[in-house]
């Protein structure tokens, strides 16, 4: 499968509470109604949550401030994604969704790009998700002196296993890297809607039970080691890292169909 990532910035004239309400309660159901027309298999919103951890993550890395959140939409393949939007139904759905996004999203400072997921580890058999589960969302821009391919290689082959070695002490339940793909399609998003340039990917780390986290010396040292390793391939001043809460609007990927 492939995944579209939409890094969402709130329109400054839309109050924060109304922004999140509209995104979840109005826009989410609208996407669900059009899921069949656009052939989307899964749709998740991840909303920024207010926690001191956000400033700790940002300041330790010298990053940009958090942004409102991200949307993720999955398709079976790039070909299926393209085919969906080549039909009259898909084009009409896309136009309606874009118009609705303009009501609450600052499109010119938001980013849309296609990605391929890489599951690094999943310990949810021991740490199952529940209502309390939160997700660390890391919006990654590569170092200026690296190619995207070199960034992705270091991120996947070196950094991924390194994070795994700290999973237990850092209370991490699951870790997924999503690497940006399809540059020509991503460029068409920018040209078509005036979006900001795409990122090089995102990292997502789920904390199944934040209350189980221990403020220990081991966890502190793990955090410092990971920040040091990230600097090998991440341009920190152009990246972001913050905590979010997931909202699954629909997921038809497991059943192989759509219950619409």
How far apart are the C-alpha atoms of 165 and 65, rounded to whole Å? 28
Q: Is 181 exposed, middle or buried (0-12, 13-18, 19+ CB in 10 A)?
A: middle
Interval 7-29 mean pLDDT: 98
Q: Which fold has domain 2-251?
A: Alpha-Beta Plaits (3.30.70)
Radius of gyration of the chain (CA): 18
pLDDT in tens, 198-239: 999 999 999 999 998 877 898 999 999 999 999 999 999 999
Angle between helices 217-230 and 52-61 (to 10 degrees): 50
pLDDT, tens only, 53-69: 999 999 999 999 999 99
Q: What angle do CA 4, 249, 50 make, to 5 degrees?
A: 85
Question: Domain ranges in the chain?
Answer: 2-251
């Amino acid at each position: 499968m492939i995944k579209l990532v939409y890094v969402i910035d709130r329109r400054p004239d839309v109050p924060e509470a109304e922004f999140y309400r509209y995104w979840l309660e109005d826009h989410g159901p609208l996407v669900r109604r059009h899921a069949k027309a656009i052939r989307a298999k899964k749709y998740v919103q991840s909303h920024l949550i207010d926690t001191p951890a956000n400033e700790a993550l940002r300041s330790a890395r010298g990053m940009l401030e958090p942004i409102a959140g991200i949307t993720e939409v999955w398709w079976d393949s790039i070909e299926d994604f393209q085919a969906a939007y080549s039909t009259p139904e898909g084009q009409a759905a896309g136009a309606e969704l874009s118009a609705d996004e303009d009501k609450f999203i600052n499109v010119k400072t938001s980013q849309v790009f296609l990605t391929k997921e890489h599951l690094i580890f999943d310990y949810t058999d021991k740490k199952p998700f529940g209502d309390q589960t939160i997700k660390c969302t890391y919006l990654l821009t590569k170092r200026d002196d690296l190619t995207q391919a070199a960034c992705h290689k270091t991120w996947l082959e070196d950094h991924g296993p390194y994070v795994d070695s700290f999973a237990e002490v850092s209370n991490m339940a699951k870790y997924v890297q999503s690497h940006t793909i399809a540059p020509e399609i991503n460029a068409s998003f920018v040209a078509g809607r005036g979006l900001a340039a795409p990122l090089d990917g995102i990292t997502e780390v789920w904390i199944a039970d934040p209350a189980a986290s221990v403020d220990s010396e081991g966890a502190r040292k793990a955090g410092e080691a990971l920040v040091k390793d990230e600097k090998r391939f991440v341009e920190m001043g152009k990246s972001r890292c913050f905590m979010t809460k997931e909202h699954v609007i629909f997921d038809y990927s497991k059943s192989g169909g759509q219950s619409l």
